[in-house]
Structure 1
Amino acid sequence: MLPGTNPLAQAHGGRSAEHRDSRHSSVRRTGTDGVHSGIKRQRSLGRLVPASIRAKGTIVVGTQPDFEPADFTPIGENGVKGFNIDLMDAMAAKLGLKVTYQKVPFDQLLVGVQTGKFDASIAGMTDRKQRQANVDFVDYQVAGTVFMVAKGNPKNITGDANGGCGIKIGGVKGNDDERLVGLMAAACTAEGKPAPELVTFPTGSDKNLALTSVLMPFSGLIWRSR
């Protein structure tokens, strides 16, 4: 995603998805010769880059790296990896730019682009009309939504709109889970059943831990491309 009308335009692009902590910035750069993973600079595209960014030679990109394999920081490392990162690196190489990644919570990605903290952001974020009012999206992925449940699915949760009535559902602050759980709640209450309860966490890792921990017996959680 990028600031509105920004010709570099990116950020995520899934048609139905969301999610995510990582409070410290980290850096991963393309090579100084403008080539990354064998990708050569394309000067005709580089001329389309705004002059201010071309002069810097670097774009600052926000990401929330706890969403393996899309964007994540491996245990024991500080940098960011994943197919989203590979994609951004490849695009920057084509433009003759380097990339500086800043790790932030998921709910700060949109704000960071709007305020100019980032030139762009890349993450598993759903392209929705409400978000388009403030930033531009470049869609490159179609994603879906599933439940992750305790092994054996002891509560018999299903993928139907009324398939999780009365359960607790873990989500990530700032993503699309509230809307989805709202749809489920409407379906459940229409049948006289209790609505599901959404419990949000700072990161996807926290959410996953809650599902597997005996101290946090959540019945299900939404796993999305945010």
Structure 2
Amino acid sequence: MTTTMSASSSKILQTEFKKLQQQPVEGFTIGLVDDSDIFQWKVGLYGPPDTLYAGGYFRAIMKFSHDYPYSPPTFRFITKMFHSNIYENGEVCISILHSPVNDPQSGELPSERWNPTQSVRTILLSVISLLNEPNTYSPANVDASVMYRRWKESKGRDKEYEEIIRKQVEDSRKDAEKDGVVVPLTVSEYCIKTRLSSKDSNASQDITDIFYDDDDDDDYGLNDEYDYDDEEDDNEDYGDDDSGAHEDA
């Protein structure tokens, strides 16, 4: 990788990072794993009120290649996540994070995959949308996909999926306490009270539409004993334990 390309990627990421701090995406906090390394970001995601994830605080690592934005970053949760589109190692499997190649067997259109016009903001919006509406037809976690569909089809009467998420949300609150984070519990607390451009306001409204137009979900709080066996150090300090690149779902 040429030094020129790496320097260009670094400049682009610094610009995105600064903009996201000034105009954050609702439900997220961002920071750097190491202040000297713009290519690794730590992300905190708050579970939106009135969803299964309400009250949760989910930590993740984003890693960027030195040819960003021509290649997508990886997004890996270091908080235990039981979800149709999240691998056991916490890595998110979503079209926008897949390289822009033509792969008919994947079931994805090239237009759904990563392209250099995408940004961290669009990734964050896609990830939070995925939490509420899993893709159960190309799952990274088959058990989670089966349980979610059973829970959805039973209109919440089958509690197995719900109880697992409850446990994980409760466990995530311990991380919030360690990090000194106050998790928003109401819609008014969750929504950002900041001046946004009209474009960012539309993106902000997209998040609200994702979570607050569904009458099926109640207001859940949650709790967990699960931990990625090889991720304990990450949960302590957003450490840098590489688990490898994910495969296309």
TM-score (norm 1): 0.24
Structure number with larger C-alpha Rg = 1
TM-score (norm 2): 0.23
Higher helix share: 2
Higher strand share: 1
